[in-house]
Amino acid sequence: MSTIKVTLKDGTVREYSKGVTVQQVAEDISPGLARAAVGGEIDGKPADYLTLIEKDVDLNLVKFEDENGKIFLRHTGSHILAQAVKRLYPEAKLAIGPAIKDGFYYDIDTDHPFIPEDLEKIEAEMKKIIKEDLKVSKFELPRDEAIEFVKKHGEDYKVELIEDLPEDAHISFYQQGEFVDLCAGPHAPSTGRVKAVKLMSVAGAYWRGSEKNKMLQRIYGTAFEKKAELQAYLDKMEEAKKRDHRKIGKEMDLFSIQDEGPGFPFFHPKGMVIRNELENFWRQEHVKRGYDEIKTPIILNEDLWHQSGHWDHYKENMYFTQIDEGNYAVKPMNCPGSILVYKRKMYSYRDFPLRMGELGLVHRHEMSGVLHGLMRVRCFTQDDAHIFMLPEQIKDEIIGVIDFVDFVYKKFGFKYHVELSTRPEDSMGTKEEWDLATDALREALDTRGLDYKINEGDGAFYGPKIDFHLEDCIGRTWQCGTIQLDFQMPQRFDINYVGADGEKHRPIMIHRVIFGSIERFIGILIEHFAGKFPLWLAPVQARILPISEKHYEEAAALRDKLAAEGIRVELDDRSEKVGYKIREAQVQKVPYMLIMGDREIEENNVNVRNRDQGEMGAVAIDKLLAQLKEEIGSKALPEEATPQV
């Protein structure tokens, strides 16, 4: 029998007979390692313990804490869920059940509508299956035999899935105990490796995501290797519920989504304060970095979107209208408008880099089922910028944007990680152009010394991109900033500049956002700070609380004094006890409560209560004003901005 070489993560090389399994290699290395790992990666791709190794490979054994390790465990969790459902509801038909971020789901067709009590029963049965520690095995069948096999078990959805595969395909199945499921894997070695499970919710889901198909029931769950890890996750989810931006947004009267405009947010006066402060900050920092602000129309001729490539690659997400019998589109992106601004004149190489920033309102058609507060909407404002530059300026401009993103995210207390996304199947341009653009982004990241992950095939249709995923205070990540390097749009719009040789040349273009979407960024900030915004962003920065009616006149005078100095201040002159007023101000997340009574008026001070620190004692009014202005100017974070759950 021929031998193969297996190169391990530490660089050591071992020889085995061809057809050895990943599990056999793991056991040969160390029985303890074999028990600790949940699977492997062959040449960087997930491969469970049952995978046969037929050639020389690089092999890395993965544990649950590794990214792919979670996939092994949670995919097995989805099969445990399906097995439990079939035990309790034998008539149920199974659709698909993948691992997803933080958990798994399974789509199920049954006439029995699942309610919370049913989820408790299913979860209890799942725990029995885990305790049984059923070994996971795998077998393959030719396509025709596979179809007959699933037909015999009455699994109509599996039949449809197999019929979509090539006729010469060998179809894989995974088995644990009496349960067999059509599946490509990967899985953990046994059900007992899934030490802790929790079913989270049930929702409707159309088969294959099409409204034309039957509505199935989708049960969501999560799985962990240790019960303590599950409890920590559940604690985080409970904290996330408290921080839900829709709940806090309503309590603080920041924004709303009306039935008359699903997916189109309404910003209320206090929400507009936050928005305006963010936009003012954006403008100030862009001026410092040499950007010129522009504004382009929301509706532009349909021909423009054919020229840009959006018609071929994005029209399903666009809105259209007619004007004077001509066809127009509501812009889903700002870049074609920026290019039209560029084309109004001929630039010289001396004008570069040319940086154009735009707070541009865009509209994109999103399915109603994915709309979610400010996080997923149908209209939003991108903090766009388009940089036109010479080829030799690419690296410095990309590094400049990276540094800008770093500055902004640190201002709000965010950590972040970076991904480099490469050419998708649906793309424009040549391989050579894409390789050149991708290498330029990679070189800038390496020069900046940033760790990054390669996200194969997830670039924009016109160029590769760097994506910034910020991490909020409870560990969730959000993709916000992006840098896209584009060789295609300058060609499609035939834009030029005059070089040092007096000839016309083609500029290179960067598309970039930092907030991403103003609306979404506000939603993230609401949840990150739990509504307790830093003073410079707080809709109301101070609230004056007179103890009784006889103090109203002096309290109103103080309100006017603070307002004249630019402080956003309110006066609570209701006939309520001061304790009640304090509690109301706390609910509204007001940073400073200024209490006024006889003594404070006599001594020309106020008794200050801080939202996060509690009682601060008496402070002279002029000193307080100076402190407020200093804190606002520093844009300091509140003390409780970054609790780790």
Catalytic residue numbers?
A: 335, 364, 382, 384, 386, 465, 511
466: nearest Cα among 395, 530, 411: 395
Q: Which residues pair with 17 in a beta bridge?
A: 3
| Helices 143-152, 156-163: inter-axial angle, 10-degree rounding | 170
292: nearest Cα among 374, 355, 367: 355
Q: How many helices (H) and strands (E) does the chain have?
A: 20, 36
The amino acid at residue 594 is L
Mention every residue, 6+ apart, whose C-beta is less than 8 A from residue 393: 352, 353, 508
Mention every residue, 6+ apart, whose C-beta is less than 8 A from residue 44: 58
CA dihedral 614, 615, 618, 619 (to 10 degrees): -20
Strands 326-330 and 299-301: antiparallel
- What does each C-alpha distance from 593 to 54, 450, 533, 562 come to in angstroms? 71, 43, 15, 13
374 contacts 245 by C-beta, under 8 angstroms: yes
Query: Rounded to whole angstroms, how far apart are CA atoms 568 and 566?
Result: 6
- What does each C-alpha distance from 284 to 99, 224, 252, 628 come to in angstroms? 44, 46, 27, 21
88 contacts 121 by C-beta, under 8 angstroms: yes
Using left for φ > 0, alpha for ψ between -120 and 50, and beta otherwise, residue 229 falls in alpha
DSSP 506: P
SS3 string, 194-231, reads: CCEEEEEEEEEEEHHHCCCCCEEEEEEEEEECCHHHHH
Taking the CB of residue 161, how many other CB atoms lie within 10 A of it? 18
Q: Is 450 exposed, middle or buried (0-12, 13-18, 19+ CB in 10 A)?
A: middle
Q: Is 480 exposed, middle or buried (0-12, 13-18, 19+ CB in 10 A)?
A: buried
Q: What SS3 state is found at 606?
A: strand
Instruction: Give the CA diameter of the chain.
Output: 99
| Helices 269-288, 518-529: inter-axial angle, 10-degree rounding | 110
584 contacts 544 by C-beta, under 8 angstroms: no
